[in-house]
Amino acid sequence: MSRKIELKTGEYYHIYNRGVDKKEIFTDKKDYQRFLKSMKVFNQVQTVESLHLAAKREKIREGTGTLYRVPVPNGQLVDIICYNLLPSHFHLLIRQRIN
């Protein structure tokens, strides 16, 4: 039986998750970078289809390389107070902004 938790605007929450069987969820630097980018891109009221599509729209050309700018969230859902990313799990301390 699952229990329903009512989240409240202005309250702080500790969010955490671990890999299945304590397996690594971050295996290299790119995994960490993608997770951090996801925290920014998906923390908005406006729907975002995927990181790939968001990056395509925000592409900036500089010389021969291509840089991707993470869009500033429009109407953030939560304030990310702090986070800790470890190879097999992560922790987030957030404050809810929008119910």
**Which pLDDT score, from 0 to 100, does residue 62 have?**
45
Is 67's pLDDT higher than 60?
no
Would residue 30 count as lying in a domain? Answer: yes
% of residues, the chain, pLDDT over 70 = 81
Q: Quick check: is 32 in a domain? A: yes
Q: What is the extent of the structural domain holding 51? A: 12-96
Contacts of 10 (CB under 8 A, 6+ apart): 95, 96
Give tens-digit pLDDT for 22-34: 899 999 999 999 9
pTM of the model: 0.75
Average pLDDT over residues 61-88: 73
| 6 lies in some domain | no
Structural domain includes residue 36: yes
Look at residue 48 and tell me if it is in a domain: yes
* 76 falls within a domain: yes
Does residue 1 sit within a domain? no
* Residue among 2, 16, 5, 1 nearest 99 (CA): 5
Quote the number of domains for the chain.
1
